[in-house]
C-alpha cells in the first residue's frame, strides 16, 4: 500500500495528465482522497500546471469535502491564467467561495482575481475586487496594492492606479517598478521620468527592471541627459553587464541621436543576443545610414546570430532612407528564401516606402497590389506620402480613393493631397480637401515635439500657449525666424495654403507654419542653452517640408547642431545642411 508521503512525492514529480490519472487511481484505491495535503496537491497540478486540465480540476474540486482556501485559490488561479473568456470564471468561483463555504479569501485569492481582471480587461470587476480587498482588511498589503496598480493600469485606469500608489502606507521597489512600467506601457513617458525624480528624493534603490523601463522612456522622448545619468548609475552598480540593461542603453543612445555611444555600449557587452544586434541595425536604419546597417547585418550572421523580423525592418528602413533600392529588394526576398520569415505589413510598408522615396511610384503600387495586405490603409497612406514628395497627382488621387473605400480617411490624408494640389497650382483641389475635412468632421491627433533642457523634458504642440514661458518663447521665435531669413530662409508658398506638420496627422489650414511644435521647441532650446550646445528635438509625427527647411537655416544662423527625430527617421542639421541630403 502506498503511503501519503509516497503519493505526495509522486505528485511532486508529475509532468503529464497521463501520469496524473494513474496517481489519482492510487489515491482512490488507498483511500487518500480526503487527505487535505494530497487533494490540494492533486488539484493544484490539474488547475495550475501547463500540463494540467481545468476540466479535470473541476471534477477533483467538486469531490473535495469542505474545500479550504488553498483549494479555492488553485481553481481561481487556474481560471485567471486561462485564455479569454475563461478568466471571468475566476470571479464566479470567488463568489461561490463566499456564498457556499466558510473558507476566507486571503491575499493570494485577491492577487489571482486581480490578474483575471487585468487579462480580461474588466475594469468594473477590478473595482469590485478592490472593494472586497478593503472589506477583508487587506488594503494596506504592499503586494496586493502593487497588483491593484497593475490591474487598474491594464484596464486603462492610470489615474486610479496612481491614486492607489499614492495611498500606499509603504512602497517597495516592486511597487515603484510597477507604477513606472504602467506609465511606459501606456505611452506616458514624461510621467515615468517624473517617478525617477521621486525615487531619488525618496532614496529608493534601483534595479535592472527600473532602468530598463526608465531608459525606454528616455528613448521615446529624447531625454539624453537623463539617460546618461542612468548609464552612470548602471555602471556604478555593474548593471551594464546585464544584457537587458545593455540593450536598453543601446536603444536609448540610438534613439537619442548618439550612435557613437550606442556602438561603444555594444562593443563593451560581454554577451549579445538578437535584440542587441537589432538595436544597432535599427539605429543605423532610422539615421539613414543603410550601408552601416548592412555591414552590421553581415557581422551578425558571422557571429552566428539568427535574424528575426525586426532585423529586416531595420535593414529595409536603412535601405529606404538611403535610396538603396536594389539592396532593399534583395533583403526583402532574403527574409523568406533564406530565413523562412514571412514578411508582415510593416515589411511591405517599407517596400512601398523604398520604391516611393526613389520616385518609383508604379513599382510601389505593384508592391501594394501583390501584398496579402493590399487592403491595409497603411500601405496606401505610405504611397500617398511618396506622391507628395514627387508631386504625382494621378497616383495620389488613386491612393486617396482607396483610403476612402477602406473607410480609413484621416485629416492628414486630405492635407497630403491638398499639398500635392497646392504644388500643382490646383486651388480647386485644395478647396475640395478643406471642404471634405469640414463636412466629414474628421479629427486629427496633434503633433508634439519634446526637448530636454537640463533635467526637464518640455513638450510643445502647434501654436502652443500652455508653457509657463510662452511669451519668452514666442519673442525668441520671432528673433529666430528673422535671423534665419537673413541667411536665406523663406516659408514655402504651398505651406501658406495647407501646412501639414506631418504626412499623416497634424495640420493647420489658416495658421502659418511659423508656430509648428518643433519651431517652438527650437526657440526654447536656443533661449535656454549656452551657445554651441546641440539641440535634440523629438517629434511624434513627420517633419513638414517648411520646418525641415527652417531648421537647416537656423543651424547656419546660430552655428548649432540640431538633431530632429521625427516619426520616420533622424535629421542631423549642421551648417545649413541635413544628413538626409534631401532624401526623406
Q: What are the tens digits of pLDDT across the range 372-427?
A: 988 999 999 999 999 998 999 999 999 999 999 998 888 888 888 988 998 899 98
Q: How confident is the model at residue 504 (pLDDT cuts 50, 70, 90)?
A: very low
Peptide bond into 85 cis (omega under 30): yes
444, β-bridge pairs? none
Helix%, strand%, coil% for the chain, nearest 5 = 65, 5, 30
Span 342-366, average pLDDT:
96
pLDDT at res. 512: 52
- DSSP reduced 3-state for 524: helix
Instruction: Write 155-159 long-range contacts (CB < 8 A, 24+).
Output: 155/117, 155/118, 155/121, 155/122, 155/123, 155/126, 156/123, 156/186, 157/123, 157/126, 158/182, 158/183, 158/186, 158/188
**CB-count exposure of residue 46 (10 Å: 0-12, 13-18, 19+):** buried
Q: Quick one: which of 516, 521, 514, 526 has its CA closest to 555?
A: 526
pLDDT at res. 406: 93
Residue, of 401 and 84, whose pLDDT is higher: 401
Q: How confident is the model at residue 475 (pLDDT cuts 50, 70, 90)?
A: very high
Q: What is the number of domains present in the chain?
A: 1
Mean pLDDT of the chain: 90
Q: How confident is the model at residue 32 (pLDDT cuts 50, 70, 90)?
A: confident
Whether 523 is covered by a domain: the verdict is yes
Whether 47 is covered by a domain: the verdict is no
- For residue 497, pLDDT over 70 is answered with no
List of residues 6+ apart from 293 with CB closer than 8 A: 281, 282, 284, 285, 314, 315, 317, 318, 319
Span 482-502, average pLDDT:
70
- For residue 124, pLDDT over 60 is answered with yes
Whether 498 is covered by a domain: the verdict is yes
Whether 457 is covered by a domain: the verdict is yes
Percent of the chain with pLDDT over 70: 95
Span 79-85, average pLDDT:
85
Whether 359 is covered by a domain: the verdict is no
Q: Looking at residue 387, what DSSP letter applies?
A: H
pLDDT at res. 115: 92
Whether 99 is covered by a domain: the verdict is no
Cβ atoms of 334 and 311 closer than 8 Å: no
- For residue 507, pLDDT over 80 is answered with no
pLDDT at res. 33: 83
573, β-bridge pairs? 562, 578
pLDDT at res. 451: 96
Cβ atoms of 150 and 174 closer than 8 Å: no
Residue, of 437 and 216, whose pLDDT is higher: 216
188-202, 247-261, 310-324: which range is least confident on average?
A: 188-202
pLDDT at res. 463: 82
pLDDT at res. 445: 66
- For residue 511, pLDDT over 60 is answered with no
pLDDT at res. 29: 85
- For residue 500, pLDDT over 60 is answered with no
pLDDT at res. 496: 41
Q: What radius of gyration do the chain's Cα atoms show?
A: 29
pLDDT at res. 331: 98
Can you give the residue range of the structural domain that contains 549?
448-578
pLDDT digits (tens, 9 = 90+) for 528-555: 999 999 999 999 888 888 899 999 999 9
Span 510-531, average pLDDT:
85
pLDDT at res. 30: 84
Cβ atoms of 378 and 390 closer than 8 Å: no
Q: Quick one: which of 564, 438, 458 has its CA closest to 507?
A: 438
- DSSP reduced 3-state for 461: strand
Query: How far apart (Å, rounded) are the C-alpha atoms in residues 429 and 492?
Result: 18
pLDDT at res. 6: 87
Q: How confident is the model at residue 260 (pLDDT cuts 50, 70, 90)?
A: very high
pLDDT at res. 5: 86
Query: How far apart (Å, rounded) are the C-alpha atoms in residues 434 and 418?
Result: 8
- Alpha helix positions (H), 487-543: 517-528
pLDDT digits (tens, 9 = 90+) for 208-237: 999 999 999 999 999 999 999 999 999 998
- For residue 495, pLDDT over 50 is answered with no
List of residues 6+ apart from 87 with CB closer than 8 A: 79, 80, 116, 117, 119, 120
Q: How confident is the model at residue 506 (pLDDT cuts 50, 70, 90)?
A: very low
pLDDT at res. 357: 92
Amino acid at each position: 500500500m502506498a503511503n501519503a508521503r509516497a503519493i505526495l512525492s509522486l505528485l511532486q514529480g508529475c509532468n503529464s495528465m497521463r501520469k496524473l490519472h494513474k496517481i489519482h487511481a492510487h489515491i482512490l484505491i488507498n483511500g487518500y482522497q480526503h487527505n487535505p495535503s494530497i487533494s490540494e496537491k492533486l488539484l493544484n497540478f490539474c488547475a495550475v500546471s501547463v500540463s494540467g486540465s481545468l476540466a479535470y480540476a473541476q471534477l477533483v474540486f467538486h469531490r473535495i469535502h469542505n474545500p479550504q482556501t488553498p483549494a479555492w485559490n488553485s481553481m481561481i488561479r487556474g481560471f485567471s491564467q486561462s485564455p479569454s473568456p475563461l478568466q471571468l470564471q475566476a470571479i464566479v468561483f470567488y463568489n461561490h467561495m463566499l456564498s457556499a463555504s466558510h473558507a476566507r479569501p486571503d491575499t493570494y485569492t485577491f492577487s489571482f482575481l486581480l490578474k483575471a481582471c487585468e487579462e480580461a480587461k474588466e475594469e468594473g470587476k477590478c473595482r469590485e475586487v478592490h472593494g472586497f480587498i478593503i472589506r477583508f482588511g487587506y488594503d494596506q498589503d504592499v503586494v496586493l496594492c502593487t497588483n491593484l496598480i497593475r490591474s487598474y493600469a491594464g484596464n486603462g485606469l492610470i489615474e486610479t492606479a496612481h491614486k492607489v500608489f499614492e495611498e500606499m502606507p509603504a512602497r517597495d521597489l516592486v511597487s515603484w517598478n510597477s507604477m513606472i512600467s504602467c506609465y511606459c506601457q501606456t505611452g506616458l513617458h514624461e510621467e515615468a521620468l517624473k517617478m525617477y525624480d521621486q525615487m531619488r528624493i525618496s532614496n529608493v534603490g534601483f534595479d535592472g527592471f527600473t532602468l530598463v523601463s526608465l531608459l525606454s522612456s528616455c528613448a521615446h522622448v529624447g531625454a539624453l541627459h537623463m539617460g546618461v545619468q542612468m548609464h552612470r548609475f548602471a555602471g556604478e552598480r555593474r548593471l551594464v553587464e546585464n544584457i537587458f540593461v545593455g540593450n536598453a542603453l543601446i536603444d536609448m543612445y540610438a534613439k537619442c541621436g548618439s550612435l557613437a555611444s550606442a556602438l561603444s555600449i555594444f562593443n563593451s557587452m560581454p554577451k549579445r543576443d538578437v535584440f542587441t544586434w537589432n538595436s544597432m541595425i535599427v539605429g543605423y536604419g532610422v539615421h539613414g545610414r543603410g550601408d552601416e546597417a548592412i555591414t552590421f547585418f553581415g557581422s551578425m550572421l558571422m557571429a552566428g546570430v539568427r535574424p528575426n523580423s525586426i532585423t529586416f525592418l531595420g535593414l529595409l528602413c536603412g535601405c529606404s532612407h538611403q535610396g538603396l533600392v536594389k539592396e532593399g529588394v534583395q533583403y526583402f526576398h532574403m527574409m523568406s528564401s533564406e530565413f523562412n520569415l514571412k514578411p508582415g505589413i510593416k515589411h511591405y510598408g517599407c517596400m512601398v516606402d523604398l520604391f516611393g522615396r526613389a520616385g518609383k511610384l508604379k513599382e510601389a503600387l505593384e508592391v501594394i497590389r501583390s501584398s496579402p495586405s493590399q487592403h491595409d490603409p497603411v500601405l496606401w497612406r505610405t504611397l500617398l506620402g511618396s506622391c507628395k514628395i514627387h508631386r504625382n497627382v494621378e497616383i495620389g488621387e488613386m491612393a486617396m480613393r482607396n483610403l476612402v473605400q477602406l473607410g480609413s480617411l484621416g485629416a492628414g490624408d486630405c492635407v497630403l493631397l491638398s499639398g500635392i494640389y497646392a504644388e500643382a497650382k490646383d486651388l480647386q483641389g485644395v478647396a475640395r480637401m478643406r471642404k471634405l475635412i469640414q463636412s466629414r468632421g474628421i479629427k486629427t491627433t496633434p503633433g508634439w515635439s519634446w526637448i530636454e533642457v537640463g533635467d526637464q523634458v518640455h513638450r510643445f504642440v502647434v501654436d502652443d500657449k500652455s508653457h509657463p514661458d510662452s511669451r519668452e518663447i514666442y519673442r525668441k521665435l520671432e528673433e529666430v525666424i528673422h535671423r534665419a531669413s537673413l541667411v536665406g530662409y523663406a516659408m514655402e508658398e504651398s505651406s501658406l495654403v495647407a501646412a501639414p506638420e506631418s504626412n499623416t496627422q497634424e495640420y493647420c489650414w489658416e495658421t502659418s507654419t511659423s508656430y509648428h511644435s518643433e519651431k517652438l521647441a527650437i526657440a526654447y532650446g536656443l533661449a535656454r542653452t549656452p551657445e554651441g550646445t546641440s539641440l535634440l528635438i523629438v517629434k511624434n509625427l513627420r517633419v513638414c517640408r517648411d520646418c525641415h527647411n527652417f531648421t537647416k537655416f537656423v543651424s547656419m544662423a546660430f552655428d548649432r547642431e540640431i538633431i530632429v527625430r521625427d516619426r520616420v527617421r533622424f535629421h542631423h542639421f549642421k551648417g545649413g545642411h541635413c544628413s538626409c541630403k534631401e532624401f526623406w
